[in-house]
Amino acid sequence: MSGQPGWLRRWVFSTDHKVIGIQFLVFGMLFFLFGGLLALAIRWQLAWPWSRVPLIGDALYPATGGALTPEAYTVLFTMHGTVMIFFVVLPLLTGAFGNYLVPLMIGARDMAFPRLNLLSFWLMVPAGALALCATFVASGGAAAGWTAYPPLSSIASAAPGSGAGQTLWLASLLLAGVASTLGALNYVTTIVKLRAEGLGFARLPLTIWGLGCAALVQLTALPVLTAGALLQLADRTLGTGFFTPAGLVVNQFAPEAAGHAVGGTPLLWQHLFWFYSHPAVYVMVLPAMGIVSDVLAVHGRKPVFGYRPMVVSMCAILVLGLLVWGHHMFVSGLDPAAGTLFMLSTLLIALPSSVKVFNWIATLWGARIRPTSAMLNAIGFVALFVIGGLSGLWLASTPVDIQLHDTALVVGHFHFIVFGGSVFAIFAGLHHWFPKMFGRALDERLGRIHFVGSFVLTACVFLLMHQLGLAGQPRRVADPYVYEGLRHLQPLNQFITWSAIALVAWQGFFVLNVVVTLSSRARAGRDPWQANTLEWQADSPPPHGNFAAPPRVVCGPYEYGLDGPGADHRPQSTVESGADPARAAAVPPG
Amino acid sequence: MRRVTALLIVALLAVTLASFAVAPARGWWLPENASHFGARIDALFTEILWVVTVALVLTLGLLAWAVWRGRADGPRRPVHGSRRLEIVWTVAPGAVLVWLALSQFDEWAELRYASERPAGPVHARVVASQFDWHFVYPGRDGRLGTRDDLDAPYELVVPVGRDVVLELVARDVIHSFFVPALRVKQDVVPGLPTEIWFRVTRPGSFELACAELCGFGHYKMAGRVRALSDAECARYLAELEAEQRWNGGAR
Amino acid sequence: MRPHLLLLLWVVSSAGLSSGCGFDARAAQLEFGLQPSTRATLAGSPELLAQLEQGLAQRFGTPAEPRDPSADPSRGPSDARISLAQSAERYRVECLHCHGVDGGGDGPTAAHIDPRPRDFRRGIFKWSSVGEQSRPTHEDLVRVIERGVWGTMMPALARLDPAERQGLADYVRYLAVRGEVETQVALAVEETGELDDAAWDEALELVAGKWAKAPSRVVVFDGAVPEASAASIARGRELYENPAKGNCAACHGSSGRGDGPVAFKLDERGRRVPAYQDAWGFDILPRNLRRDPFRGGRRSIDLYRRIHAGIQGGPMPAMSTIMTPAEIWDVVHYTQSLAEDVHPAEYAASEER
């Protein structure tokens, strides 16, 4: 190649994994803002149903005098779920962290398939654009929930959003699915083939184990959802009837009379959908678990407690995670015998998670904690994840789930996992790796303010949803107070809404922090945290190709808290920092 | 900051426990049960609640304590793990989880396995459609789908103290028959008529909600289940029958 | 900048933003509009249109402060526990998103619903107890509100208090009267070219008179409802098929599936499309008597009234002049047998046994 590549090649259509990682980061954060605003609109309706929505109501809903319409509410929660899962948490964890960290942490120059990587991001962009179209399409945004259960989703007459909106939604899901599959393929290949010399599987940082297991989940299960989405698309556009039973009359539309095939079953979709979409929860949590383990070790100056049990439990989650999808279907008409089996597997999957929690606590036990923002967010992750995990026990129990399925308790439960868990891990990871990504460390005081407020407000928003669910408030209900037995819950809902508004506003501190940091001139240096893993031996930010010379790994990633003179830690490779290679080689592998 | 975080975790633990402790008195809790197996579901719920409470206090307590005393200049501890501890905290929760699983089997089987369906005819057919519950009783001939069927929207009337079998049918999309006070929830799937059964233990009128997204009017799909004595039940059905035979004039 | 200063800045700016930009949950501000037909009638004279709109507001008020110049005489003072304004608010929450602020059946959700939400402004209601060309009774409206219309997206609002349901019926009647008066006045003005109080009074009197007559127009069968017998069902079937009598099969099909020969026509591209439109201009198909719920109710008297008086606003004709009450009952019995899960022949056989 001659000369510098152009701006487009360097920043837009780059094959450099770091650029693509940061593209995913920006992409995910923009959608995070969008999804958060959707959440606020949902909360507004639940607190003060059918009142004028502030700021946007008059413009968007003139026919009702500025109040939400019921169908607009269904669009809100459909797209909130879709965006947050498929365009925020998954791209941030696997897209941003996965791309940025995998080659760096295993000492590779780039991904195994850089151009596939480029394609993966540039498939996500139209997928995101289609999701926005699916929200705002004039004939009605997609409104069948992020779960898109047919026939509500597959029969165009079933809801205003089941027309063009749903088709766009499916197209978006398909593209995002293909993009994620390509990414997963790339991560697995890269981790298996491109590890630096001396970096055996037993020396991989847990972040890499988490990202790798998540990628394996995606490789195994995602094609099933993609196939399901294709079937639903066919039902909608080609007149097939995979999910359409005979004898339906939806809003005067009878599929048979219109010449559509019938004889399918709506339950088929639920199996196909949850076969991936339940494991997707683990895709959102496994990398988070890895990130948190690394952050706890680095900022606690102590090895991760029980490295092997941590790895084994991740693999157990990977395998069991593929066998629990039926717990979403206990009351769906699933064969009760299958329900029994799914209850067993679901209770079993709590075990590896609890093993991990105990190991994190043991890691922190006697740790020399540096209360950095990264560390605080990681500790916050553990605390909130524990609550989310434990409230899942009720939902695993088939008889109790009869009462609690599809109530606000479920919403509280999984937000503790996905917001309290994954999002706090994302913030921990961002604080931890920001110096590497941008060469400047985020401001610690702003970071702490952001953490404390987010932690408190997260509890305020999601904790009381458990009580709402116990009292019987169903999910996805635009006006719970049509039920006499739920009217006394309105003050509770209003409290949650105020907290949610504050929580979203509080994220301004993070934005502010990023702006302040990026505009500052202070440089963070190669290794601001005195960490061991390979990425800290590259420049901040690393140049194209990452390492000046291929690193040679001499020990495990968690040699912290070492006794003796000098540093309390031993980097995995000391070649680049100029240490004597002979001395490094003499150290027995950890 | 470290100690602040430890305190935050303690506060989170305290608030979590408090939010469950104060909930029953404020009605932020399971509504008062009115079905024969509801008490057993509630017992399972409470059993899990205790497991959750113990686990929560244990883990968050240890976490907070570890954070509280984790001074940055404390002694160095390059500890990589402990096989004995790993075994303890794998086996102990594992045992609890297996015990939890075993304690659900019977209830679940009794609630759902077809072999446990009470003998006797279907009390009523529940027809769900966007956005309405409609109830069809078999009428005098005891058969559904005949001209002497009796029907009513919104409110289902069932006898107290007797096994009630319902047939759930959906005309258009998936709905879910959810009566919180009876601890009953079952999706109503088009093309998949489903039977459920329960026994109401006290007279009363219990709210019925749709618990599966069925379209923009999902929230409007409210109904009621009214439990009456046998005599009142018979009187209600007789009234419906009289309506069937009404000539439109003065009553 | 120091973090605590930034904190202060953030709190102040977000508070300022939220209070400054209409962060305000006041009740919705709604206004009545004019019907498209009125605008078409008086398209030539924007002055008269403005006058008409003003006059309507004067006499009928606004959604926030509705006034009914023609109170329903069938409603005693003891019934009026809920004010029209309160009912307007209830209507806004429960009904408006389908039926629209004017009751035009044109709320934001309406376009998606089939059959369309009722447009009240013509005063035509399908599911009533009254004879041809009559306004419905108060009880008819209450019944539809309470039970919904099974088989359509009109839900049962039985969860509301009886007084609230009656209040909603009053408000529906109010919207209907307002719409009818608007149309009457517009027609009168088109003829005379001027709008005076007399035109208003005349229109009001005319419309209120129609509504006042409703209770006297209720269709009642004189005597006990006859039992269905195999013979009656067989006679009903003959009447159903007979072109000179019921002629039901022409639309509803000889199998009752709503697929009779005249129900459809071919459009210019040769596609099979509904042959009929309802009074509001939407395509309409005959009921599938085997599959669909009877929207006006499945009591015998409901079916009797549908056949006796027809269905207002739709192509279903009144049969009272063609068939005797006994014959209507035969058709009712046959129709009921069509709706059974069991094949009618089998049912008749089992009954005889």
For B138-196, write each residue's pLDDT tens digit: 999 999 988 889 999 999 999 999 999 999 999 999 999 999 999 999 999 999 999 99
Helix (H), strand (E), coil (C) string for chain C: CCHHHHHHHHHHHHHHHHHHCCCCCCCCCCCCCCCHHHHHHCCCCHHHHHHHHHHHHHHHECCCCECCCCCCCCCCCCCCCCCHHHHHHHHHHHCHHHHCCCCCCCCCCHHHCCCCCCCHHHCCCCCCCECCCCCCCHHHHHHHHHHCCCCCCCCCCCCCCHHHHHHHHHHHHHHHHHHHHHHHHHHHHHHHCCCCHHHHHHHHHHHHHHHHHHHHHECCCCCCCCCCCHHHHHHHHHHHHCCCCCCCHHHHCCCCCCCCHHHEEECCCCCEEECEECCCCCEECCCCCCCCCCCCCCCHHHHHHHHHHCCCCCCCCCCCCCCCHHHHHHHHHHHHHHCCCCCHHHHHHHHHC
Closest residue by Cα to residue A273 from A315, A320, A224, A233: A224
- For residue C22, the model assigns a pLDDT of 39
Q: Which helix (H) or strand (E) holds A423?
A: none
* Cβ atoms of residues C236 and C335 within 8 Å: yes
pLDDT tens string, chain B, 251 residues long: the values are 899 999 999 999 999 999 999 999 999 999 999 999 999 999 999 999 999 999 999 999 999 999 999 998 888 888 999 999 999 999 999 999 999 999 988 889 988 898 999 999 999 999 999 999 999 999 999 999 888 899 999 999 999 999 999 999 999 999 999 999 999 999 999 999 999 999 999 999 999 999 999 999 999 999 999 999 999 999 999 999 999 999 998 87
Given 3-state DSSP classes, what are the helix, strand and coil percentages for chain B, each rounded to the nearest 5? 45, 25, 30
Residue A50 has pLDDT above 90, yes or no: yes
The arithmetic mean of pLDDT across residues C138-151, rounded, is: 96
* Cβ atoms of residues A438 and A518 within 8 Å: yes
Point out the residue among B129, B131, B245 whose CB comes nearest to the CB of C300. Answer: B245
pLDDT in tens, C254-306: 999 999 999 999 999 988 899 999 999 999 999 999 988 999 999 999 999 99
Residue C347 has pLDDT above 60, yes or no: no
C18 neighbourhood in chain A, CB within 8 Å: 54
CATH 2.60.40.420: which residues of chain B? Answer: 124-244
Locus of tokens 């403005």 = C50
pLDDT in tens, C107-131: 999 999 999 999 999 999 999 999 9
Q: How would you list the strands of the sheet with B155-159, edge to edge?
A: B155-159, B223-228, B204-210, B175-179, B184-188
As a whole number of angstroms, the distance between CA B136 and CA B147 comes to: 11
pLDDT in tens, C46-73: 999 999 999 999 999 999 999 988 877 7
- Return the residue in C97, C99, C116, C153 with the most chain A beta carbons within 10 A, the one to mutate for interface testing: C97
As a whole number of angstroms, the distance between CA B125 and CA A239 comes to: 31
Question: pLDDT band at A16, cuts 50/70/90?
Answer: very high
As a whole number of angstroms, the distance between CA A296 and CA A359 comes to: 11
* Cβ atoms of residues A54 and A68 within 8 Å: no
Point out the residue among B70, B104, B173 whose CB comes nearest to the CB of A158. Answer: B173
Note whether C151 contacts B222, CB cutoff 8 Å. no
As a whole number of angstroms, the distance between CA A170 and CA A225 comes to: 11
C92 neighbourhood in chain A, CB within 8 Å: 50, 64-65, 67
The arithmetic mean of pLDDT across residues A455-484, rounded, is: 97
Q: Which helix (H) or strand (E) holds A463?
A: helix A444-470
Least confident of A193-197, A576-580, B158-162, C35-39: A576-580
Note whether B247 contacts C221, CB cutoff 8 Å. yes
Closest residue by Cα to residue A468 from B31, C294, C202: B31
Closest residue by Cα to residue A105 from A374, A433, A421: A433
Cα separations in angstroms, A261 against A256, C215, C272: 7, 49, 19
As a whole number of angstroms, the distance between CA A282 and CA A304 comes to: 21
What interface predicted TM-score (ipTM) does this complex get?
Answer: 0.96
Residues in Cβ contact with C173 at an 8 Å cutoff, skipping those fewer than 6 apart? C72, C138, C141, C211
Point out the residue among A247, A472, A559 whose CB comes nearest to the CB of B31. Answer: A472
- For residue A8, the model assigns a pLDDT of 83
Q: Is the peptide bond before A542 cis (omega within 30 degrees of 0)?
A: no
Question: pLDDT band at C12, cuts 50/70/90?
Answer: low
Q: Which helix (H) or strand (E) holds B154?
A: none
* CATH number given to B124-244: 2.60.40.420
| Domains recognised in chain C with CATH numbers | 36-217 (1.10.760), 230-352 (1.10.760.10)
Minimal-distance CA residue of chain C relative to B249: C220
Note whether B4 contacts A480, CB cutoff 8 Å. no
Cα separations in angstroms, A245 against A151, A161, A267, A567, B218: 9, 21, 10, 68, 21
Please name every residue paired with B209 in a beta bridge, in sequence order, or none if there are none.
Answer: B178
- Average pLDDT score over chain A: 93
Q: Does B130 touch chain C (CB under 8 A)?
A: yes
* Chain C residues with at least one Cβ partner in A under 8 Å: 1, 3, 6-7, 10, 14, 18, 21-30, 92-93, 96-97, 100-101, 107-109, 111-115, 153, 159, 291-292
How many angstroms separate the CA of residue A478 from the nearest CA in chain B?
Answer: 6
How many angstroms separate the CA of residue B122 from the nearest CA in chain A?
Answer: 18
As a whole number of angstroms, the distance between CA A356 and CA C22 comes to: 48
How many angstroms separate the CA of residue B243 from the nearest CA in chain A?
Answer: 28
Question: pLDDT band at C24, cuts 50/70/90?
Answer: very low
- Return the residue in C6, C152, C295 with the most chain A beta carbons within 10 A, the one to mutate for interface testing: C6
How many angstroms separate the CA of residue A257 from the nearest CA in chain B?
Answer: 14
Which chains have at least 3 CB atom pairs separated by less than 8 Å from chain B?
A, C
As a whole number of angstroms, the distance between CA A471 and CA B209 comes to: 12
Which chains have at least 3 CB atom pairs separated by less than 8 Å from chain C?
A, B
Angle at B130 between CA B128 and CA B132, to 5 degrees: 55
- For residue C75, the model assigns a pLDDT of 78
Note whether C3 contacts A64, CB cutoff 8 Å. no
User: Based on the number of CB atoms within 10 Å of its own CB, is C117 exposed (0-12), middle (13-18) or buried (19 or more)?
Assistant: buried
pTM higher than the cut 0.90: yes
pLDDT in tens, A165-190: 999 999 999 999 999 999 999 999 99
How many angstroms separate the CA of residue C230 from the nearest CA in chain A?
Answer: 29
Neighbouring CB atoms inside 10 A of C72's CB total: 20
- For residue A414, the model assigns a pLDDT of 97
Residues in Cβ contact with C137 at an 8 Å cutoff, skipping those fewer than 6 apart? C74, C128, C129, C130, C214, C215, C218
Residues in Cβ contact with B110 at an 8 Å cutoff, skipping those fewer than 6 apart? B37, B116
Total CB pairs under 8 A between chain B and C: 77
C153 neighbourhood in chain B, CB within 8 Å: 130-131, 217
- For residue C4, the model assigns a pLDDT of 54
